[in-house]
Amino acid sequence: RLPIEGVEEGYHTLSHHGRDADKLAQLALIEEQIVDAYGDFLRSLAGFDESHGNLLDHTSVLLTSNLGNASSHDNRNLPVLIGGGGFRHGHHLAFDQNNNYPLANLFVSILQQSGLPTSQFASGKSTMDGLPPTTASL
C-alpha cells in the first residue's frame, strides 16, 4: 500500500505536525492505512477456527502509540485499540485526561483474561476500568 497517494513526508516528520492542517491530513492518510491493516489482521485471525471460538477470540491484539501527542512528545492519554481476547468490543472508552491511571492496568486485564492469575503488572496495580470480558478467562 506504499507509497500512499497524498503523503509527501515520512511518518516521523509528520508526527511533529505543530497542528499544521496539511501535515495532519497526511498523517490521517497514513493512519487510515495502519488501521485498515489492523482490521485485515483481526479478520484473518477470526478466520481460523479453534476450540471454543476462533483464533481472535483467544488472542489480544493491541494497536497503540508511545505518545498521546507526538507533536509535543506527550506520553499521556495514549490512543489504544484492542481487538479479540474475549473482551467486549464496539465501544469507546474515554478517561479523565488529567487524572488517568497507568496503561499497565490494561495489561493486568489482558493477563487475567488470558487465565494468568495476577493483580499487577509493572506500574499497574489493578485492572482497566470499563473493559469487561465477554466470557470467562480463556
Distance CA 91, CA 33 (A): 21
**CA 23 → CA 1, 9, 12, 36, 71, distances in Å?**
19, 8, 11, 20, 11
| pLDDT level of residue 135 (50, 70, 90 thresholds) | low
Residue 98 has pLDDT above 90, yes or no: no
1-5, 31-35, 66-70, 105-109: least confident range:
66-70
Sequence spans of domains, the chain: 11-113
Residue 90 CA from chain centroid, whole number: 13
**Using one digit for the tens of pLDDT, what is the confidence trace for 7-52?**
999 988 898 888 899 999 999 999 999 999 999 999 999 999 998 8
Residue 138 has pLDDT above 60, yes or no: no
The pTM assigned to this predicted structure is 0.85
**Using one digit for the tens of pLDDT, what is the confidence trace for 58-93?**
999 999 987 777 777 777 788 899 999 999 888 888
User: Residue 57 class from Cβ within 10 Å (0-12 exposed, 13-18 middle, 19+ buried)?
Assistant: buried
